[in-house]
Amino acid sequence: MPFKSLDELRAACLDLPLGSDAAASAVARRQDTLTKPQGSLGRLEGIAAWLARWQGRDMPKLDRVKVFVFAGNHGVTAQGVSAYPSEVTVQMVANFAGGGAAINQLARIAGAELDVIPLDLDHPTGDFTQVPAMNDEAFLAAVSAGYGAVTKDLDLVCFGEMGIGNTTPAAAISAALFGGGAEKWTGRGTGVDDAGLVRKITAIETGLKRHNEALADPLLVAAALGGRELAAIFGATLAARHHGVPVLLDGFVCTAAAAPLARLHPAGLAHTLAAHVSAESGHRRLLEALGLPPLLDLGMRLGEGSGACLAVNIVRSALECHARMASFAEAGVSEN
């Protein structure tokens, strides 16, 4: 296990490489020579430079793209916060293995490997309205599982999740990190009715009050109010930064899972892009709080890494234009 204490994890979160200015500048210079008005490809040009910065290469590559879906179960579902029972998490993991989920199809189209990592599904986290979701040991184990999943040979990673009830810890973490109260961050998740929405808000308010002493520390927030799959996404996001692998974040749960890193380090999520903004009401607010403009807005709210996988195709398009377009000189086209 790479992290044996919260202090060791905190030190790793504060010691982050800042990427290659030289590689990003090289991309920008090449972009200015290509057969187009400068800046006319909009965010595609910035995506190419982002890839170069975090891969540390003048010419980025996307030979190995991988999607990680972390799965966990939550004790807070005892409060009636989800429209589905917890056993659906296990059933969906089996569906991933059988190739029957949306993420299987989207990963194939994106040319990405898929790795589904279940995290102690037979033992849900604690109900955070009563106790911390995870003690230090359980939290560090989940963070370490995510950290160990990401390897240096990857060119781009997408993170997704599966966990019935996990929009509740995502909203709780968002409220704890950015304030505004439970109602501001809480949506309908898998489709709870009005009574279910009230139960979610009440559970989050109760959790915030019960763990009030933890709210000043992003790591303690993630442990007390989060879940194993969220902790693993946090660890995987940290590993990607240390290994020079750019990250596409998926929806509300995934973004909330990574958000503590931004609270620990002012540039903690600089190596990430928000793949999309989901229909879950708190996601747009969270992206705004983090300064992460989304690439897509398609009204999705599935999770699984589905939005991130769609965005891989945009990243591939950005790289193809950067790598394969002719310069004005090569094409014999007159420059301005």
Active site residues: 304
Contact call for residues 161 and 70 (beta carbons, < 8 A): yes
**284 burial type by CB count under 10 A (0-12 exposed, 13-18 middle, 19+ buried):** middle
**Which 3 state secondary structure label does DSSP give 282?**
helix
CB 40, CB 133: distance < 8 Å: no
The Cα 80–Cα 220 span in angstroms is 25
Q: What phi and psi, each to the nearest 5 degrees, are found at residue 60?
A: -65, 170
1 membership: H or E segment, kind and range: none
Please, are residues 234 and 146 in contact by the beta-carbon 8 Å criterion?
yes
Sign of the alpha-carbon dihedral angle for 93, 284, 82, 227? positive
In order, the DSSP letters of 159-208 are EEEE-TTTHHHHHHHHHHHH-S-HHHH---TTT--HHHHHHHHHHHHHHH
- Compute CA distances 310 → 213, 236, 279, 285, whole Å: 39, 20, 16, 21
Integer CA distances (angstroms), 91 to 116, 165, 309, in order: 13, 15, 22
